[in-house]
A and B are shown apart, each in its own frame.
Chain A
Amino acid sequence: MSGQDFSRRSFLSKGAAGAGAVALAGAATEASAQTINWGQTADVVIIGAGVAGLPAAITARELGASVIVVEENYDIGGRGMLSGGRVQLGGGHALQQKLNIKDNPDQVFLDWVRADDAESRYSDRELVRVFADENLSAYQFLLDNGVEFIEKPIGPGIDASTVARIFVTKEWHIPAEVVAPRRNRNGSGLVRHLAASARNKGAQILLKHKMTRIVREQPTAGKVLGIEVKADGKTINIRATKGVIVATGGHTGNVEFRRMFDPRLTEEYQQACQPYVDQNASGEIAAMDIGASLWATAIQTSESGAAITKTRHIGCRWGYASLVYETDSVMFPQAKATGLTVKDWQDLIMVNQFGKRFWDEGDGSYRFFNAAMAYHGDKTKLNGGGPIWAIFDADGAAREKWNTKPPNVDPDGWFYQADTLAELAGRIKNQYQKQPMPGAALTETVARYNSFVADGVDKDFKKKTPMHKIEKPPFYAAWATPILHDTLTGLRTNTSTEVVDMRGEVIPNLYCAGESQGGFAQHGLARCLVFGRIAGRTAAKNSA
C-alpha cells in the first residue's frame, strides 16, 4: 500500500487539516496537484464499494497500486448487498463444465448482441466483446476471492442468454451482516467476500465518505487529479495519482437525472433497494461536470429488462418484487413495513389516483407500466401517471391469507382501510396523491369490475377471466405504484473503462464501471464485476 498509513484516525486528522487550509479550486479555476492540499493520497481512488468498486479495488491492489475506496453508505455492498446474487458469467467455466453446459466466449458475445432481443440489441458491441472475453477470468477471480456458488444454473430463457450461465452466489453466513436476512439476498455473499478480500489485500474502504466532486486540472480539460469528499461534516480532498474510478451504482433514484431518459419517471416512482441504497447519479453528475458523456441512451428506454418493475409487495413504500425487509432487518425502522406479498393478481384491482382502472392487473409487461404512467387527466401534473393503488376487500385478503395490520403494512401514507369504498377513497392521503380520490369514481370502478366478474369477461382491459368481486367490507387500498430498478446505461467509456467526453476524447485518469457505465444493458451483477476488474486493472497500470 505504498507504505502509507490509512488508518481512519490519521486520515480524518489529515483531512480536517487539509479542509481548513485550502479552498479547493472552484469549477472554473485551473487546478494542479501542487495547489491543492490533499488530505490523503492513493494510486487509485474508487468511488463506491459495490459490485464494481470492490473487484476494482482487489484488482488494483493485486497489481501493486495503493487503493482508497470511498463509500457514502454506512456499510459496503451497494445494491449487490440486496441482490439475489445471480451472476451471469459463462464462457465455459469450471462449473458449467461440471454440469455439462456447453458454452464459450464467442457464444456469450453472440447472445448479448442479439438483434431479436430488446435487452441486447442496443448495446455497444465492443463492450460486449470485451465482456465476453473476460467471463472466464472473472469467474475464476470470484472463486479466488472466496465467493461460493450454488451449483444449479438458472436459465436460459429469462434474458438474452441461449445457454445456462446464471449461477447464484451463496448468502453471507452471518445473518446480522445481511441487510435483508432470510429473503434470499444471496448477493450479500458476493459483496461481503469481495470486501473482506479487498481489505485483506490492503485496500482502504472509507465508509460514510460522500464524494462531492471529481477534481480535474481544468474544468473540462487535463487530467483528473482526485476527488473531494465529505465525511463527518468536513470536506476532504483525496489525491489519485493513477486514476479515479466511478463505481457509484447508477442513477435510478435521481428524479431529475432519470427524466433525461424518460420524462414520465417523476417523483412518485420509488427506487428498488431504498432505503439501503440511493442510486443518486452522483458519479454521473460529477463526471459530466468535468466533461464526460453519456452513452447508448436508447438502452434505458428499450422497454426490456427490469428498469421498471411491478410492485409485488404492496402497502409499503418500497415494494420491489423480490426484496422484503423483515422486522429484524437493520432497514426496517426506515422501511416501516414488510408489505403484503401478492400471490394472485385476481385478488385485487389496481386504480390510478382518480380511482379508475387502467390495465389488466395480471400483466407485468411494459404495457402495464405504460398504462400506469399514462396521462390520467391530472391538469396540474402532465408527466408521470401518479400513484397506483391496489384495491381489495376482506375476501381478497382472506384468499391471500394477509394480515392487514402493521408491521405488514405502513398506514402512514401507504395503506388504508375503510368500511365502504367511498370512505376508502377519501382516506387516501399520500405525498404523491395530489388530489383526493373521488369516492364515487372508485365505487363506480369497482361496480363495473364486479359486473365483469359476473360475466366472466373484462370488457375494458381483457384481464383473464376476472374471478372475484370486490364487495365484502372492510375495503383496503395499498400502494402499488411501479418501482424502478435497473440503471441500464450511463457514462461513455472505451473498452478499457476510460471515461470519454462528448468529443470522443478520453478524460485522462477517469474510469467508470458498474451501473454508472453506459453501453451494456445487462441486468444483474456480471457486467459490474467484469468491468470493475477492468477498471481496477487499467487504472493500476496507468502511468500517465
Chain B
Amino acid sequence: MTADTAQTETLHETRLETSLAVWDIAPTVAAGERFSVKAGAKSSAGCALGRCRIEVLDDDAVVASGSLGDAPWPGTDALYWAELELRAPPTPGTVTFSVHFDAGDLDEPHQDASSPFNVSVVARPDHTLTVKVASGGMPIEEACIRLGPYRATTDGSGQAAIKLAAGRYELVVWKAGFDMEPVPLAIHADASVDVEARALPQDDPDAVWTA
C-alpha cells in the first residue's frame, strides 16, 4: 500500500454515509413521454445537503439532473430532495434508471450514493376504461384497480378512469373486506365496466386460524 492509497482509504473511512429515496414514480409512463420523479438524499449525520447535485442515469448517461432543495421533504428530518424530469424510452417495457447523489465538496465529507428505480413504460394509451365498483348498490371508494401495469384507485363515486393501450387485460379489483373475481377484458375502444364487490364477513378478531 502506498502512502497515497493509505491516505485515500483513511479519507474514505471518515466520510459520512448517505442514503437515498426515490418516489412519486407514476405506475406507468407512455413511451417517449416526459415524466418526473422525486429523489432525496439523507446524511447519516443529518447534515444539510441542499444544493448538492443529484442526477438520473440511464446506464452511464445522465438523463436528468438538478440540485437538492434547501428544505427537507415534509415529514422527514433531513431528507433533501429535488424533482427531476426525464423522458421515457420509445419502447414499452420495464426500464431501470439510477439516481446518483454527488457529495461533492461538502464541509463534512460524505460518500456518494446511488439507488436504482424502475419505470413501467407502456405504449401510448388509445382508450379510456371507466371502472365502477359497487357492492349492493353502494359505491366502493378507494378500491385498487389494476390491469397489467396500469393502476388506479376509485373515487367517492366508486369510479376510476384509466387511460390504456388497446389489448387484452385482466381487470383485478382489490379492497380489504371485499371479494371480487378478476375480469378478462379486451380493450378496443373506450369502455366502461361495472364490478360487483361481494362483502366478506366482518373481520373476526376472535376467530381462530387454521392451516
Cβ A419 vs Cβ B211 within 8 A: no
Cβ B42 vs Cβ A469 within 8 A: no
Cβ B146 vs Cβ A465 within 8 A: yes
**B115, CB-defined interface residue at 8 Å:** yes
Write out the residue numbers on chain B whose beta carbons fall within 8 Å of the beta carbon of A451: 94, 118
- Kindly provide the distance from the CB of A180 to the nearest chain B CB, expressed in whole angstroms: 13
Cβ A304 vs Cβ B211 within 8 A: yes
Q: Which residue of B lies closest to A320 (CB)?
A: B205
Q: How many residues of A contact B (CB 8 A)?
A: 51
Q: Which residue of A lies closest to B210 (CB)?
A: A304
Cβ B174 vs Cβ A346 within 8 A: yes
Cβ A366 vs Cβ B210 within 8 A: yes
Cβ A118 vs Cβ B211 within 8 A: yes
**B30, CB-defined interface residue at 8 Å:** no
Q: Contacting B210 at CB < 8 Å: which of A365, A447, A454?
A: A365
- Kindly provide the distance from the CB of A340 to the nearest chain B CB, expressed in whole angstroms: 15
**B105, CB-defined interface residue at 8 Å:** no
Q: How far is the CA of A447 from the CA of B208 in the complex (A)?
A: 34
Q: How far is the CA of A159 from the CA of B207 in the complex (A)?
A: 8
Contact mask for chain A residues 411-455; partner B; CB cutoff 8 A; 1 contact, 0 none: 000000001111100000000000000010001000100110011
Write out the residue numbers on chain A whose beta carbons fall within 8 Å of the beta carbon of B151: 467
Cβ B19 vs Cβ A523 within 8 A: no
**A55, CB-defined interface residue at 8 Å:** no
Q: Contacting B207 at CB < 8 Å: which of A158, A394, A399, A454?
A: A158
Q: How far is the CA of A425 from the CA of B174 in the complex (A)?
A: 30
With A443-B115, A471-B22, A474-B75 known as contacts, the answer to whether A366 contacts B211 (CB < 8 A) is: yes
**B172, CB-defined interface residue at 8 Å:** yes
**A93, CB-defined interface residue at 8 Å:** no
Contact mask for chain A residues 522-535; partner B; CB cutoff 8 A; 1 contact, 0 none: 01000000000000
Cβ B76 vs Cβ A447 within 8 A: no
- Kindly provide the distance from the CB of B153 to the nearest chain A CB, expressed in whole angstroms: 9
**A251, CB-defined interface residue at 8 Å:** no
Cβ B40 vs Cβ A312 within 8 A: no
**B104, CB-defined interface residue at 8 Å:** no
**B85, CB-defined interface residue at 8 Å:** no
Cβ B210 vs Cβ A119 within 8 A: yes
**A73, CB-defined interface residue at 8 Å:** no
- Kindly provide the distance from the CB of A37 to the nearest chain B CB, expressed in whole angstroms: 46
Which residues of A329-349 are within 8 A (CB) of B?
343-346
Q: How far is the CA of A159 from the CA of B204 in the complex (A)?
A: 12
Cβ B209 vs Cβ A473 within 8 A: no
Q: How far is the CA of A469 from the CA of B149 in the complex (A)?
A: 13
Which residues of A280-313 are within 8 A (CB) of B?
303-306, 308-310, 312
Q: How far is the CA of A310 from the CA of B204 in the complex (A)?
A: 13
Cβ A84 vs Cβ B146 within 8 A: no
**B142, CB-defined interface residue at 8 Å:** yes
Write out the residue numbers on chain A whose beta carbons fall within 8 Å of the beta carbon of B17: 422
**A173, CB-defined interface residue at 8 Å:** no
Cβ A303 vs Cβ B210 within 8 A: yes
Cβ A471 vs Cβ B210 within 8 A: no
**A86, CB-defined interface residue at 8 Å:** yes
Q: How far is the CA of A101 from the CA of B192 in the complex (A)?
A: 46
Which residues of A487-544 are within 8 A (CB) of B?
523
**B9, CB-defined interface residue at 8 Å:** no
**B206, CB-defined interface residue at 8 Å:** yes
With A118-B210, A305-B208 known as contacts, the answer to whether A423 contacts B42 (CB < 8 A) is: yes
Q: Contacting A465 at CB < 8 Å: which of B78, B172, B211?
A: B172
- Kindly provide the distance from the CB of A234 to the nearest chain B CB, expressed in whole angstroms: 40
**A381, CB-defined interface residue at 8 Å:** no
Cβ B25 vs Cβ A456 within 8 A: no
Q: Contacting A419 at CB < 8 Å: which of B22, B42, B149?
A: B42
Write out the residue numbers on chain B whose beta carbons fall within 8 Å of the beta carbon of A33: none
Contact mask for chain B residues 170-211; partner A; CB cutoff 8 A; 1 contact, 0 none: 001010100000000000000000000000000011111111
- Kindly provide the distance from the CB of B206 to the nearest chain A CB, expressed in whole angstroms: 5
Q: Contacting A423 at CB < 8 Å: which of B19, B142, B172?
A: B19
- Kindly provide the distance from the CB of A349 to the nearest chain B CB, expressed in whole angstroms: 16
Cβ B144 vs Cβ A346 within 8 A: yes
Given A118-B210, A366-B210, A474-B79, 20 more contacts at CB 8 Å? A118-B211, A158-B208, A304-B208, A305-B209, A321-B206, A322-B205, A322-B206, A366-B209, A419-B73, A420-B21, A439-B19, A451-B94, A454-B118, A455-B149, A456-B149, A464-B174, A465-B146, A471-B117, A473-B40, A473-B73
B interface vs A, CB < 8 Å? 17, 19-25, 27, 40, 42, 44, 72-73, 75-79, 94, 115-118, 120, 142, 144, 146, 148-149, 151, 172, 174, 176, 204-211
23 contacts between A and B (CB under 8 A): A86-B206, A118-B211, A304-B208, A304-B209, A305-B209, A310-B209, A312-B205, A364-B209, A365-B211, A393-B23, A394-B75, A419-B19, A419-B72, A420-B19, A420-B42, A421-B21, A443-B19, A451-B118, A455-B149, A456-B149, A456-B172, A471-B23, A474-B76
The 4 A-B pairs of least Cβ separation, nearest first, read: A322-B205, A344-B176, A422-B19, A419-B79
